[in-house]
Amino acid sequence: MKNKYYVYELIEDNEIVYCGFTNSPPRRKAEHRCRFQFEFDMNILSEHGTKREALAEEETMTLFLKSVGLAKYNDVIGSVVTQNLKKMVAINTGKVRSEETKRKISNTLKGQKHTKIRKLNMGKGIKNQTRYTCPHCGVVGVRGNMNRWHFDNCKQREYKNV
Ligand SMILES: [Zn+2]
């Protein structure tokens, strides 16, 4: 039997709080139930034939969600995502985005996803929220996320101070 990998999101109070991938959604869901102290729904976003492909998709999705202030439970610190997030912030700051990234994000957001994120953005007024830039790593985001993961809590700050 061929292995399949799934990229999924967790929803808490109508907000996407986590994005990940797994080859067994029911098992992963049970693991999250133990680890996270909140009630959530799990939605499968896409299905992949290889782990590599699923990882790439998860990363793109997580980066996008982070960039609009969602996926607050994704701890990007210390993972490969951190490097790419910094790259993405640099790219976004320069208002240049590669066609490949644009295509990926647009594909990811098509259909139901698109509607869902637009609704979330409108509902939460994310567009109107003030953005803060972390002085240590340059990540830009809404206040809640930034206070939790950046400023005095930023991992880059520790590295710099050493
Ligand atoms: Zn930071």
For residue 154, the CA-to-ligand 1 centroid distance in Å is 4
Mean pLDDT of 121-149: 77
Mean pLDDT of 63-84: 67
Per-residue pLDDT tens for 35-47?
Answer: 777 788 899 989 9
71 Cβ contact partners less than 8 Å away, ≥ 6 residues apart = 9, 16, 17, 18, 19, 62, 65
Per-residue pLDDT tens for 79-134?
Answer: 445 555 555 555 555 444 556 666 665 565 554 444 555 555 555 555 567 788 88
Banded pLDDT at 28 (limits 50, 70, 90): very high
For residue 103, the CA-to-ligand 1 centroid distance in Å is 27
For residue 156, the CA-to-ligand 1 centroid distance in Å is 6
For residue 40, the CA-to-ligand 1 centroid distance in Å is 27
57, 48 contact by CB (below 8 A): yes
For residue 68, the CA-to-ligand 1 centroid distance in Å is 16
pTM: 0.49
Q: Which residue has the higher pLDDT, 85 or 151?
A: 151
- Nearest Cα neighbor of 139 from 150, 128, 148, 152 is 150
Q: Which residue has the higher pLDDT, 157 or 75?
A: 157
CA 90 and chain centroid, separation: 17
For residue 78, the CA-to-ligand 1 centroid distance in Å is 12
Q: What's residue 112's pLDDT?
A: 45
Q: pLDDT > 70: what percent of the chain?
A: 62
